[in-house]
Amino acid sequence: MQMPKGTSGKNFNPVQSKGICISSTSKNIPAAWEFVKYIASEDCYRSVVKNGAGLSPMPAVNNEVFLNVSFGPKNTKQVYLDALENACPLWQTVKAGDANTKIGEIAEVIMRNKISVEDGLKKMDEEVQKVLDDN
């Protein structure tokens, strides 16, 4: 099942990132700057990825570290990296709550064996797409 199509007509995946900055009222700007340089460094991203705490904005780190860490099958991890190719910011997914509700409702029907997994995923795809298409 692919992620539903966004406004561009392409299947997309919501991605979240964090910004780091130094306040003008910081009491120790040199130390803050050293922290920012470290937290945005390749070494830090390697550690984050290696420990399973997230992905890196550096594709080379993801390809080298994430695909080769011991947890999770490699083909499943590749799906996550492929999803980054059509990423969009979370603010573009304002209907995510409604979509999650539909996903939960249909997942429950699947888990209660009232519909096959294949048919359930197809229905989930259709219902989530309807939510996202509803303006």
Q: Return per-residue pLDDT of the chain as tens, 135 residues.
A: 455 565 666 665 555 666 778 888 989 999 999 999 998 899 999 998 898 888 888 899 999 998 888 888 888 888 888 877 776 665 556 677 788 889 999 999 999 999 999 999 999 999 988 988 875
Is there a single domain that holds both residue 74 and residue 102?
Answer: no
Query: What's the pLDDT at 13?
Result: 58
Separation between Cα atoms, residue 111 and residue 99, nearest integer Å: 18
Is there a single domain that holds both residue 80 and residue 117?
Answer: no
Query: What's the pLDDT at 14?
Result: 58
Count up the domains in the chain and report the number: 2
Is there a single domain that holds both residue 71 and residue 40?
Answer: yes
Q: Which domain holds residue 69?
A: 20-87
Q: Answer whether residue 12 is part of any domain.
A: no
Q: Answer whether residue 5 is part of any domain.
A: no
Q: Answer whether residue 55 is part of any domain.
A: yes
Separation between Cα atoms, residue 41 and residue 102, nearest integer Å: 39
Q: Answer whether residue 3 is part of any domain.
A: no
Query: What's the pLDDT at 1?
Result: 45
Separation between Cα atoms, residue 59 and residue 78, nearest integer Å: 12
Q: Answer whether residue 4 is part of any domain.
A: no
Query: What's the pLDDT at 131?
Result: 87
Query: What's the pLDDT at 105?
Result: 94
Separation between Cα atoms, residue 47 and residue 53, nearest integer Å: 9
Is there a single domain that holds both residue 33 and residue 80?
Answer: yes
